[in-house]
Structure 1
Amino acid sequence: MVRQRGYWRESDGSPVTAPKSWEIWAGHAYELLTTVARRYHAIITYGEVGEKVQAASGVRTSALLHNWIGPVLGKVVHEAHRRGDPPLTALVVHAGDGMVGVGYEEVLKVEGLPSIVDEMEREQHAAAARLRCYRHFGAEIPPDGGTPALAPKLEATRERRRRNQEPSPRPLCPSCFLQLPATGWCDNCGA
């Protein structure tokens, strides 16, 4: 079996140009992301988007995901802006760290906002944009109006870091229950 290279139609193996593939995938990505947006606090990874748009379109590629997902999602950013929809690409995060990544800059540019250099600031902006997506596309929102949320993987990493940075409480004296100094001997009772 000969392995295809480049971009091709699954049905007959005919070649498709990269730009045409991106255009086709962008339409499928838009539809996919509106579906994701209908579930409160739902997200999807870049890899999942890549596989789902290829499967739905019947157009495949041997190119690495990071070489083509940016142009596809860039088209989604511009289409969402044209339609007056919130930035659907805020729903797409890296599998490894749960972050939207630097490609999110296109959302800021299209919205006429300045670039956000600080990663956590960018993630907070994306979390707020995701909440706008959930509201706009009809997700079942809690009665309090919902809250912006970081991707679960990113939130878990932040929580782990927070716990690791907190100093552990110093032990207490078993007799008088005062916190022991660094020496480990109670200044009050000598225990």
Structure 2
Amino acid sequence: MSLSVGPDNTLPTAKEAREAWAREAYMVLADVARSYHAVITYKELAEEIQQRTGIRTKALLHNWIGSVLGRVVLEAHRRGDPPLTALVVRSDDGMVGDGYKEVLEVAGEPPVEDVLEREQHAAGARLDCYRHFGATLPAGGGVPALAPRYQAAIERRRQRTEKPPQVCDKCFVQLPSTGVCDSCG
């Protein structure tokens, strides 16, 4: 891991960098949890913790963020807090990453292979975070919600699959994309 000089002008070891990033990540995620239905991407989190610590790396994100978040999972469990890492989602699809299995392991829960089931578990964990860290919740205490980008993708798929094909009123043949029946004109 290639690191840059820390705030005290010394070069930290990789372990020291990960520990510093994990401390900051915990605080960043606690801040995110104070806003109902808020999430943060891995990239946003990585940038924020490097900025706050003054310790930067040129290593690819996926090569180091998992070990940082693993420390956050353990610290949240040690404190009796809900799993803050449920708030971290991928920027491309809005889903939690494969590392979410650590949350389940630490909690003593079985692994979840089904993607939607895993996302629903993470949505429940996020709601626990919002409640625990004092987010302003709607009347009734709020509801678990999938990350906005993932929910939008589900809605787009649902809209595509729920539209029944158009059928000609006269001959009951499925209409082409023009909407004009090839048989009846």
Give the alignment's TM-score, normalised by structure 1.
0.87
Q: Which amino acid aligns with 1:105?
A: K
Deviation at 1:47, TM superposition (A): 0.3
**2:72 equivalent to 1:76:** yes
Corresponding position of 1:187: none
Quote the Cα distance in structure 2 between the aligned partners of 1:91 and 1:124: 12
Indicate the percent of aligned positions where both proteins have the same amino acid: 55
Deviation at 1:82, TM superposition (A): 0.2
**2:25 equivalent to 1:29:** yes
Q: Which amino acid aligns with 1:101?
A: G
Q: Which amino acid aligns with 1:146?
A: G
Residue among 75, 99, 119 paired with 1:123: 119
Q: 2:168, 2:174 within 8 Å by CA — same for their partners in 1?
A: no
Residue among 132, 137, 143 paired with 2:139: 143
Corresponding position of 1:89: 85
Residue among 166, 173, 181 paired with 1:182: 173
User: RMSD of the alignment, in Å?
Assistant: 2.2
**2:152 equivalent to 1:152:** no
Structure 2: 5+ residue stretches without partners: 176-183
Give the alignment's TM-score, normalised by structure 2.
0.89
Q: Which amino acid aligns with 1:145?
A: G
Based on CA coordinates, which of the two structures has the bigger radius of gyration?
A: 1
How many residues align? The count is 179
Structure 1: 5+ residue stretches without partners: 174-178, 185-189
Q: 1:170, 1:180 within 8 Å by CA — same for their partners in 2?
A: no
Quote the Cα distance in structure 2 between the aligned partners of 1:36 and 1:92: 10
